[in-house]
């Protein structure tokens, strides 16, 4: 492998332990302002130093990432459809390799839609992107995107990952599934697992742990980090599994500890409003009153035998 390609790859997959923690913030390229990613700049800033690389579009990189950052960028170069359009699989290459070099990308990424209407187009595009990218020592990450109608099981994901690797992708991103070992075994290049939809933090850490145990080199997680109530706590907990070899219990305990001390969650100034109020001197007025001797007068009365007569 050429020096440049190897050097770029080693920014994404750390050579000392062959592991990778990628933070995904590219969702807007077809979803628009995704929940809790409405302001990418604010989301990215506190998380940037905790990930090994950041997966994003050129628009977000230009507008929302500090150019002084040393975090490697994985630049999404495909697009063309939106969530409200006809078919999400109708993607093309939208960013040139020259632009990726100008943006100092460490890797370029695109989706392939195996088994969908535009399968042919996306797979051919992957091959062409590899041709172009390798001229400049730029690695290619293939995202195995799954259409709504296709199941995310080991049989299908093995097929999609293998197709991507055969086209020359240097890294493949896919979803975790049962029997994930089978997907890893039949894919000759490193696999990174996407987090998927938001699930409880402990479950997302379990997914991370299972994926690593099954042979994935790491994670490309988005929603389960920045849609968490405590994104920094969550990325640190995931990191402790990927780079610190924590088990799920240890990682979740770390998450809870960091979440409990999360200073970024400003207390609501109205929350304890009444607690800080001076005590109302009249508040317990009646409590201090001497008992009214007549108060329970009726209760002590002998029952009237005619009371319930109709
Ligand atoms: C969107 C992507 C995302 O980068 C990928 O799905 C990872 O994000 P998440 O963990 O939220 O699934 O490729 O098309």
Q: Each residue of 24-39: pLDDT tens digit?
A: 999 999 999 999 999 9
User: How many domains, in total, are found in the chain?
Assistant: 1
101 Cα–ligand 1 center, Å: 23
pLDDT of residue 148: 67
Q: What is the pLDDT of residues 142-165, one digit of tens each?
A: 999 876 667 789 999 999 999 999
Annotated active-site residue in 14, 173, 197, 301: 173
Cβ 196 under 6 angstroms from ligand 1: yes
pLDDT of residue 121: 97
- How far apart are the C-alpha atoms of 256 and 304, rounded to whole Å? 63
Cβ 223 under 6 angstroms from ligand 1: yes
| 282 has pLDDT over 60 | no
pLDDT of residue 255: 98
Q: Which residues of 291-307 are buried (b: 16+ CB within 10 A; e: fewer)?
A: eeeeeeeeeeeeeeeee
Local confidence band at 298 (pLDDT 50, 70, 90 cut-offs): very low
Of 81-85, 206-210, 259-263, 289-293, least confident by mean pLDDT is 289-293
pLDDT of residue 149: 67
Residue 26 forms part of a structural domain: yes
Residue 155 forms part of a structural domain: yes
Local confidence band at 286 (pLDDT 50, 70, 90 cut-offs): very low
Local confidence band at 278 (pLDDT 50, 70, 90 cut-offs): very low
Q: What is the separation of C-alpha 242 from the centre of its chain, rounded to a whole number of angstroms?
A: 15
Residue 303 forms part of a structural domain: no
* Residues forming beta bridges with residue 242, ordered by sequence position: none
Residues spanned by the domain of 245: 3-260
Cβ 76 under 6 angstroms from ligand 1: no
Cβ 127 under 6 angstroms from ligand 1: no
Q: What is the pLDDT of residues 44-79, one digit of tens each?
A: 999 999 999 999 999 999 999 999 999 999 999 999
pLDDT of residue 146: 78
What's the CATH number where 55 sits?
3.20.20.70
Ligand 1 nearest atom to the CA of residue 220, by list position: 7
- How far apart are the C-alpha atoms of 108 and 129, rounded to whole Å? 9
Question: Which has the closest alpha carbon to 56: 10, 23, 30?
Answer: 23
Residue 8 forms part of a structural domain: yes
Residue 293 forms part of a structural domain: no
Dihedral sign for Cα atoms in the order 119, 120, 121, 123 = positive
Sorted by sequence, the CB contacts under 8 Å of residue 73 that are 6+ apart come out as: 53, 54, 56, 61, 65, 103, 104, 105, 106, 107
| 296 has pLDDT over 50 | no
Residue percentage of the chain with pLDDT more than 90: 81
| 125 has pLDDT over 50 | yes
Q: Is 173 a catalytic residue?
A: yes
Q: What is the separation of C-alpha 47 from the centre of its chain, rounded to a whole number of angstroms?
A: 11
* Half-sphere exposure of residue 154: CA atoms within 13 angstroms, side-chain side: 12
Cβ 187 under 6 angstroms from ligand 1: no
56 Cα–ligand 1 center, Å: 10
68 Cα–ligand 1 center, Å: 25
Local confidence band at 266 (pLDDT 50, 70, 90 cut-offs): low
| 306 has pLDDT over 50 | no
Local confidence band at 200 (pLDDT 50, 70, 90 cut-offs): very high
| 288 has pLDDT over 60 | no
Local confidence band at 267 (pLDDT 50, 70, 90 cut-offs): low
Cβ 91 under 6 angstroms from ligand 1: no
Q: Which helix (H) or strand (E) holds 23?
A: strand 20-24
Atom 4 in ligand 1: residue holding the nearest Cα: 24
Residue 266 forms part of a structural domain: no
Residue 163 forms part of a structural domain: yes
Which of 285 and 116 is assigned the larger pLDDT?
116
Do residues 170 and 8 make contact, with C-beta atoms less than 8 angstroms apart?
no
Residue 37 forms part of a structural domain: yes
Atom 1 in ligand 1: residue holding the nearest Cα: 27
| 214 has pLDDT over 50 | yes
276 Cα–ligand 1 center, Å: 45
46 Cα–ligand 1 center, Å: 19
Instruction: Provide the mean pLDDT of the chain.
Output: 89
Residue percentage of the chain with pLDDT more than 70: 85
* Residues forming beta bridges with residue 53, ordered by sequence position: 22
pLDDT of residue 272: 52
Q: Which bin fits 115, alpha (ψ -120 to 50), beta or left (φ > 0)?
A: left
Cβ 195 under 6 angstroms from ligand 1: yes
């Amino acid at each position: 492998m050429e020096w440049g390609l190897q050097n770029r790859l080693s920014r994404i997959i750390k050579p000392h332990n062959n592991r990778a923690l990628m933070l995904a913030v590219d969702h807007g390229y077809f979803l628009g302002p995704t929940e809790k990613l409405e302001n990418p700049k604010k989301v990215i800033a506190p998380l940037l130093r905790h990930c090994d690389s950041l997966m994003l579009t050129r628009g977000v990189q230009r507008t929302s990432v500090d150019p002084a950052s040393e975090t490697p960028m994985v630049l999404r170069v495909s697009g063309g459809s939106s969530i409200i359009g006809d078919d999400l699989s109708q993607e093309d290459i939208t960013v040139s390799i020259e632009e990726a070099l100008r943006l100092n990308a460490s890797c370029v990424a695109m989706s392939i839609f195996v088994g969908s209407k535009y399968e042919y187009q996306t797979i051919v595009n992957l091959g062409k992107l590899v041709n172009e990218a390798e001229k400049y020592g730029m690695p290619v990450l293939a995202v195995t995107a799954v259409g709504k109608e296709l199941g995310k099981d080991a049989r299908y994901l093995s097929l999609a990952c293998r197709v991507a690797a055969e086209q020359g992708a240097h890294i493949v991103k896919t979803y975790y599934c049962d029997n994930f070992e089978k997907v890893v075994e039949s894919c000759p290049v490193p696999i990174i697992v996407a987090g998927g939809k938001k699930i409880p933090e402990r479950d997302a850490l379990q997914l991370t742990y299972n994926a690593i145990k099954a042979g994935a080199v790491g994670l490309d997680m988005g929603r389960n980090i920045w849609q968490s109530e405590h994104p920094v706590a969550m990325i640190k907990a995931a990191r402790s599994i990927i780079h610190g070899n924590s088990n799920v219990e240890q990682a979740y305990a770390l998450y809870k500890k960091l979440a409990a001390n999360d200073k970024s969650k400003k207390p609501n100034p109205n929350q304890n409003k009444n607690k800080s109020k001076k005590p109302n001197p009249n508040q317990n007025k009646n409590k201090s009153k001497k008992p009214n001797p007549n108060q329970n007068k009726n209760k002590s009365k002998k029952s009237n035998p005619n009371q319930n007569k109709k």
